[in-house]
Amino acid sequence: MNYEELLAFAGRNPMLSLALVGLTVAIIATEIARLFRGYKSLKPAELTHLINAGNAVVIDLSASGEFEKGHIVGSRNVQLAQLTPAHKLLASAKQSPVVLVCRTGNASATAAKTLKKAGFEQVSVLDGGIPAWQAADLPLVKGRG
């Protein structure tokens, strides 16, 4: 396909061409925003590696009842409203990897932004939350932790 054919196609299909341009712009904007948000998204396997290394602070932002139904081994339950840089789990973790986990990813992203603004250096969220963890066939434990 050459340039003239591409222009002819765009002229014959203006709505399709506009949709393609719109989607392309949306994808580029999303990727640029991801680069500048200040925290990383981890896949379940990457979080497993951090947990096995033993230096990650994993915080589950789920409601207490949801946390008790199933959570990642070693994670601690903290409600989003209680999560502050001065929280006892975070007070000494400014240089440690802090990984935030929730059920949907929304609470984790909000908390990650807060911690980055407070000076935490290694903040990450579990991409896809607990459902992604389960989809990767990784275990959850029940109870208070």
Please name which of 46, 72, 145, 58 lies closest in space to residue 100, comparing C-alpha atoms.
58
Q: Are residues 61 and 129 in the same domain?
A: yes
Burial 10-26 (b: 16+ CB within 10 A, else e): eeeeeeeeeeeeeeeee
How much is the mean pLDDT over the chain?
88
Q: Are residues 88 and 25 in the same domain?
A: no
Number of structural domains the chain divides into = 2
More confidently predicted of 54 and 58: 58
Say whether pLDDT at 91 is over 80.
no
pLDDT at 145: 60
Q: Is 69 within a domain?
A: yes
Residue 13 structural domain: 3-35
Q: Are residues 26 and 65 in the same domain?
A: no
Q: Are residues 63 and 86 in the same domain?
A: yes
Q: Are residues 67 and 115 in the same domain?
A: yes
Please name which of 60, 80, 54, 64 lies closest in space to residue 143, comparing C-alpha atoms.
64
pTM of the model: 0.74
83 among known catalytic residues: no
Q: Is 130 within a domain?
A: yes
pLDDT in tens, 58-89: 999 999 999 999 999 999 999 888 888 788 87
Q: Are residues 51 and 103 in the same domain?
A: yes
pLDDT in tens, 95-115: 889 999 999 878 898 899 888
Q: Is 141 within a domain?
A: no
| Burial category of 144 from C-beta neighbours within 10 Å (exposed 0-12, middle 13-18, buried 19 and up) | exposed
Q: Are residues 71 and 20 in the same domain?
A: no
Say whether pLDDT at 144 is over 80.
no
User: d(Cα 46, Cα 11) in Å, to the nearest integer?
Assistant: 47
Residues 115-128 have a mean pLDDT of 89
Say whether pLDDT at 93 is over 80.
no
Strand runs labelled E in 30-75: 40-42, 57-60
Per the residue annotation, which of 47, 102, 107, 123 is the catalytic one? 102
Q: Are residues 60 and 24 in the same domain?
A: no
